[in-house]
Amino acid sequence: MQILIVNILSKLPASLVLLPYHLANFIVVTMASLLQLKCWARNSYYFKNIVPGLSDIDFTLFIPSSSPESTLQLFLTSYKDLKKIIPILGEVNIYKEKELPLIEKLINSYELKRDPLLTQNYLRSKKADDLEKIVYMLRMIESDFKSITQRSHLRRKKWTFHFKEIGLTPPENFDLRSIINSLDTLTQEFILSSQLETILSKMAKGHISLIYDEATTIEQMKPIILLYPHRWLVYSNGLNQTEHYLEQIEFNTSEENLILSHIRWELFGLITQRHNLSKESNLSNYLEMIIKFLDKIKGPHQESREALIQMVKDLQLLMINDFSDSKNLSSLPAL
């Protein structure tokens, strides 16, 4: 049904089918402005890569240090209500002014490029490396897996843009196999493209248990850890096996560097998206697992490891403060 809707919308004038997106953007930005917050659209809306009927609008919200916590909560409550009637509203990344120094150390260069206004006004652009490219593209595959496996022809504009971002020639087709094969020059040091396709197909469908059960040796487990360590940590920790594997596994220098890049992305996401985490989520335990994971990093990356461990501890304090603030706030009405 969605493909049919997208095909119908593609026949209509762009000025007509994009009108709901422009209206949604106006409403959200105005709402933030009324609360003296700064908000803008990023990603596909900013770069004019919207596919009507398929794309949503992601926003960035900047919180000045002078803004009270109640203002943010009011925005989030109102945004949640708006999403019930405007389904094209997507994710909101929240940047608190006082947290910018920490975020700047963590954010992936290619993720930062998807938000030019953030770079222009608040964060400095960064020199990118190939490991950031790998992590960035793996996360893009993870988030867009359903589309590239079921309606890849509708994602041509999006994935052409991603490949150009990282300086690689886009494939002719944008199915999972074509995308993975086109990334081979980046990923071959860590995993064969055929193995990557198998693991991604199962993991992105939520079948990490199948991959986990089939990995009977440490070496078979390693590719899973290198590709999506956040998924592996959650699943293995649920089975109380994280420490068992970490005690036995060894990583070379390149693998350690890739893991560090993955963890930076994960911490960045936890900071800017922590408003989506329920108070019941076992985040404290997850952060402790990340610290234990980082303890495996030795050699030339010791300094980077220690810096990231300190960032995890900083994030733990942010979570404690968030919980304390939320307990002191009464329920807030929507705008």
CATH of the domain at 19: 3.30.460
DSSP label at 217?
Answer: S
Asked if 232 and 294 sit in the same domain, the reply is yes
Per residue in 81-120, pLDDT tens?
999 999 999 999 999 999 999 999 999 999 999 999 999 9
287 and 148, same domain (yes or no): yes
What is the helix (H) or strand (E) element at residue 61, kind and residue range?
strand 57-63
Q: Which of 73, 91, 121 is the last residue of a domain?
A: 121
How far is Cα 153 from Cα 155, in angstroms, rounded to an integer?
5
- Residue 61 has phi, psi (to 5 degrees) of -120, 125
* pLDDT given at position 222: 86
Q: Cα 190 vs. chain centroid, distance in angstroms? A: 21
Residues of the chain with pLDDT > 90, as a percent, come to: 43
CA distance 61 to 39: 4
The whole-number pLDDT of residue 334 equals: 35
pLDDT for residue 248:
87
Q: What pLDDT is recorded for position 228?
A: 86
Q: Checking DSSP bridges between strand 57-63 and strand 89-96, what pairing results, if any? A: parallel
Q: Which domain holds residue 67?
A: 2-101+115-121
pTM above 0.85, yes or no: yes
Angle 61-284-303 from CA coordinates, rounded to 5°: 80
- Cα separation, 157 vs 87, in Å, equals 22
In 3-state terms, what secondary structure has residue 94?
Answer: strand
Give the tokens for residue 182.
């086109």
Kindly report the average pLDDT of the chain as a whole number. 84
Q: Are residues 95 and 141 located together in one domain of the fold?
A: no
Residues 8-22 have pLDDT tens digits of 656 556 667 789 999
Strand partners for 60: 40, 93
165 and 247 fall within a common domain: yes
137 and 95 both lie in a single domain? no
Last-in-domain residue among 121, 150, 181: 121
Looking at residues 250-260, what average pLDDT do you find?
90
Domain assignment of residue 62, yes or no: yes
Same domain? For 220 and 321 the reply is yes
How many distinct structural domains can be found in the chain?
Answer: 2
Would you state the pLDDT for residue 159? 92
Question: Which DSSP category does 99 fall into?
Answer: G
Q: Which of 158, 76, 160, 165 is nearest to 112 (CA)?
A: 165
Q: Give the contacts of 21 (CB within 8 A, at least 6 positions apart).
A: 45, 50, 52, 55, 57, 88
- Residue 14 lies inside a defined structural domain of this protein: yes
> How many angstroms separate the CA atoms of 262 and 227, rounded?
9
One domain for residues 296 and 244: yes
Question: Which among 121, 149, 181 is the end of a domain?
Answer: 121
* CB 62 within 8 Å of CB 315: no
Q: Is the dihedral of CA 244, 247, 250, 253 positive or negative?
A: positive
Q: What are phi and psi of 92, to 5 degrees?
A: -120, 120
pLDDT confidence tier of residue 155, bands split at 50, 70 and 90: confident
DSSP, res 90: E
pLDDT tens for each residue of 184-223: 999 988 888 888 888 777 765 555 666 767 777 778 888 8
Closest listed residue to residue 202, CA positions, set 228, 233, 230, 171 = 228
pLDDT reported for residue 80: 95
240 token code pair: 């109380």
pLDDT band at residue 265 using 50, 70 and 90 as cut-offs: very high
Based on the domain organization, do 184 and 233 belong to the same domain? yes
